[in-house]
């Protein structure tokens, strides 16, 4: 018996995690792929004239079993990885790519889909039909036989490379650790940071010592607090060296081959380069439009960063230091500067940012905006002891299941993300979603509260915004469910949700001191809000440099000599990267771009969406109430529940009534004056 292939009788038909074993996945994939191929063959050979029902709806049903197996597998392989799961992924990834390409280049299927018109269809059906036609064309259905065969080979190889990149990067992240053996090496660190490092040491077999891991939630506080410049440098170099420093786990050749094959894929389809192909069906449309936005913001961001650098260099001189600010120094001296300019000490702030309270704040915000309630269900299945599960309702109606997997562990890839175990749909009856947020916060010692940085709390709100996009989805077809929208639109619901964290109504209620339980004093709250754009030039430069490199990689002339490191260096020189700052993601560990196709030539989308989210929150400000009922209902109807049922420009116009303006983003980031 294979639980992945059975009907699930668990509550809410959740995956029966306690019964699923590693050995179940390969036979489950084999059976699911066989079922998919049989379903597709039946559609392709149907003698009846093509209709929306017997072609599009049939295709929507064809991969349900595969979707169920794959959702469980890829969620586990990214958060509870083992050598066995990685081996299965390396084997199954090209097989999945081959099958998908085979379906979307099948001439019989393409002829049936291409013959359909949107006459008599609902708006939602017409949108789904348009997306299917687009998928066939972009997969290579209009190529000749040789072109289709080559496209299949390219896609299979790209899938293999993506799995290898993830595997190598996770291995590097597991391998890095800075072991500290004396209390003198802890100078400047807070008690909560030291406690978390002691727990990490225990987990890694270094009991009695302290360990800094390669998790961003461990690295960034260390760089901000540690007074030991030599240790800051060691941590920074280890972090940015992921995927580059160890030959046995190097990702350089993987990235180079990936870029070459993407370029070939685009040219097979008649595009000048991969960016032109990838952006054609996004809001941006062209690489030129992307560069236009990024370069519009780069100038004022660089100016602000360089002005801040001069202040940081003055602090070094004041201390008697005889060195130029380096990337491992920036966060440390920026924290000193923040204390001076805003009387704001992270050690003073952090006790108010308890993980438990921030979860409650994110839930309460959703309740006030959308009428949701969250009932924790420790009785429901979960795939790891750290995972928490809530039933989500709107009034008395079950909306879905939300799962939170918040803590870093060696088997989990770095970063934070939202994914699903099941997507919402109503094609053959109501199907409610199962949505999960996965984060990498540092776990405290047993019994102690988990304290977040302010950026950590913002990450939690960001990912929960994605979760709401999946939970509130109210569409008929899986093809347009939840976050199945343009890549440069998908960050709007998540980034918009971050705004509510900064509201006095939220912080005043949930920012409670971990020891005293007292709310954050108004004076401190005012200083937090006043300092929200502190160091914004540097953080914007770090992000923009990665986004510009991403676009450059996928528009460059590519041949066998292509070197991602050389291109990266060339771009940074061309844009005049300020001294003392590094990219947020170097090519060697740029998982957004190389662990899969999702954000390839699409890292810009965070800023593209930010133009909209900065403008969109203005609707609540103009209403005079950040929880205004009418505005929230319009947001629910046009954005959070709408999935991909309409073109993203139309979705935004339906909410805001006009197009967004870049100036809103510059004002939000405090860069208008520099512009």
Q: Which residues are catalytic?
A: 463
Rounded distance between C-alpha atoms, residue 562 and residue 546, angstroms = 18
Q: What's the full length of the chain, in residues? A: 675
Rounded distance between C-alpha atoms, residue 481 and residue 296, angstroms = 33
DSSP secondary structure, 18-83, as one string: GG--GGGHHHHHHHHHHHHHHHHHHHHT--SPP-IIIIIIHHHHHTHHHHHHHHHHHHHHHHS--H
Rounded distance between C-alpha atoms, residue 210 and residue 197, angstroms = 5
Rounded distance between C-alpha atoms, residue 439 and residue 418, angstroms = 9
Sequence-distant (6+) residues with CB within 8 A of 310 are none
Classified as helix, coil or strand, 491 is helix
Residue tagged 């609707």 (tokens)? 619
Identify which of 502, 460, 485 has the alpha carbon closest to the alpha carbon of residue 608.
485
Q: How far is CA 534 from CA 316, 317, 383, 494, 520, in A?
A: 19, 21, 39, 22, 20
Identify which of 672, 675, 635, 636 has the alpha carbon closest to the alpha carbon of residue 655.
635
Identify which of 109, 104, 107 has the alpha carbon closest to the alpha carbon of residue 50.
109
- Quick one: CA dihedral 197, 198, 199, 204, positive or negative? positive
Identify which of 496, 459, 498, 468 has the alpha carbon closest to the alpha carbon of residue 618.
496
Write the DSSP symbol of residue 423: -
Sequence-distant (6+) residues with CB within 8 A of 675 are 299, 300, 666
Identify which of 151, 67, 64, 71 has the alpha carbon closest to the alpha carbon of residue 104.
151
Please tell me the number of Cα atoms within 13 Å of 86 on its side-chain side.
19
Q: Is 373 left (phi over 0), alpha (psi -120 to 50) or beta?
A: beta
DSSP secondary structure, 87-102, as one string: HHHHHHHHHHHHHHHH
Identify which of 455, 480, 454 has the alpha carbon closest to the alpha carbon of residue 469.
480
Q: What are phi and psi of 438, to 5 degrees?
A: -120, 125
Q: What are phi and psi of 519, to 5 degrees?
A: -65, 155
Q: What are phi and psi of 400, to 5 degrees?
A: 170, -170
């Amino acid at each position: 018996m294979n639980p992945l292939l059975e009907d699930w009788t668990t509550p809410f038909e959740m995956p029966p995690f306690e019964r699923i074993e590693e050995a179940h996945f390969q036979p489950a994939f084999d059976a699911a792929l066989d079922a998919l191929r049989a379903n597709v063959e039946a559609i392709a050979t149907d003698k009846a004239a093509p209709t929306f029902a017997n072609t599009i709806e049939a295709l929507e049903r064809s991969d349900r079993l595969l979707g169920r197996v794959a959702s469980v597998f890829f969620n586990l392989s990214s958060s509870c990885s083992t050598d066995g799961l990685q081996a299965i992924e390396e084997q199954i990834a090209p097989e999945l790519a081959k099958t998908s390409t085979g379906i979307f280049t099948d001439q019989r299927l393409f002829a049936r889909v291409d013959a359909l018109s949107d006459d008599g269809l609902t708006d939602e059906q017409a949108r789904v039909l348009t997306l299917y036609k687009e998928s066939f064309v972009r997969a290579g259905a209009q190529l000749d036989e040789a072109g289709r065969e080559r496209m299949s080979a390219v896609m299979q190889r790209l899938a293999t490379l993506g799995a290898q990149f993830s595997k190598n990067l996770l291995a590097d992240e597991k391998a890095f650790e800075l072991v500290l053996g004396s209390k003198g090496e802890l100078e400047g660190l807070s008690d909560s940071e030291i406690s978390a490092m002691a727990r990490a040491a225990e987990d890694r077999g270094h009991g009695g010592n302290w360990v800094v891991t390669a998790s961003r939630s461990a690295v960034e506080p260390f760089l901000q607090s540690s007074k030991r410049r030599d240790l800051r440098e060691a941590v920074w170099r280890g972090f940015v060296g992921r995927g580059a420093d160890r030959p046995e786990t190097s990702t350089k050749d993987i990235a180079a081959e990936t870029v070459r094959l993407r370029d070939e894929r685009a040219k097979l389809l008649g595009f000048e380069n991969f960016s032109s192909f990838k952006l054609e069906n996004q809001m941006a449309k062209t690489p030129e439009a992307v560069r236009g936005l990024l370069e519009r913001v780069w100038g004022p961001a660089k100016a602000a960063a360089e002005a801040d650098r001069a202040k940081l260099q003055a602090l070094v001189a004041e201390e008697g230091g005889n060195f130029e600010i380096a990337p491992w120094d920036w966060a440390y001296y920026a924290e000193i500067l923040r204390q001076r300019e805003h009387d704001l000490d992270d050690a003073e702030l952090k006790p108010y940012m308890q993980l438990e309270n921030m979860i409650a704040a994110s839930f309460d915000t959703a309740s006030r905006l959308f009428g949701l309630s969250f009932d924790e269900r420790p009785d429901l299945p979960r795939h790891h002891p750290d995972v928490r599960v809530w039933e989500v309702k709107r009034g008395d109606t079950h909306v879905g299941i939300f799962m939170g997997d918040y803590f870093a562990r060696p088997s989990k890839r770095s970063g934070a993300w939202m994914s699903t175990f099941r997507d919402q749909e109503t094609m053959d009856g109501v199907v409610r979603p199962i949505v999960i947020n996965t984060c990498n916060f540092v776990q405290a010692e047993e019994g102690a509260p988990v304290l977040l940085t302010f950026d950590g709390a913002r990450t939690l709100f960001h990912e929960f915004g994605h979760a709401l996009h999946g939970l509130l989805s109210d569409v008929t077809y899986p093809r347009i469910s939840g976050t199945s929208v343009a890549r440069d639109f998908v960050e709007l619901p998540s980034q918009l949700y971050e705004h509510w964290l900064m509201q006095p109504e939220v912080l005043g209620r949930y920012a409670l001191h971990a020891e005293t339980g007292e709310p954050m004093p108004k004076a401190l709250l005012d200083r937090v809000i006043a300092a929200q754009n502190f160091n914004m030039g540097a953080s914007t430069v770090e992000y923009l440099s990665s986004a510009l490199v991403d676009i450059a990689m996928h528009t460059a002339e590519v041949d066998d000599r292509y070197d991602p490191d050389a291109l990266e260096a060339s771009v940074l020189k061309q844009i005049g990267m300020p001294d003392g700052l590094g990219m947020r993601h170097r090519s060697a560990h740029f998982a957004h771009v190389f662990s899969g196709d999702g954000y390839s030539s699409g890292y810009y989308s965070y800023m593209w969406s930010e133009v909209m989210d900065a403008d969109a929150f203005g609707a609540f400000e103009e209403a005079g109430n950040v929880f205004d009922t009418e505005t929230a209902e319009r947001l629910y109807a046009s954005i959070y529940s709408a999935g991909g049922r309409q073109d993203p420009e139309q979705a935004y116009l339906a909410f805001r009534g006009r197009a967004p303006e870049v100036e809103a983003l510059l004002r939000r980031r405090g860069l208008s004056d520099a512009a």
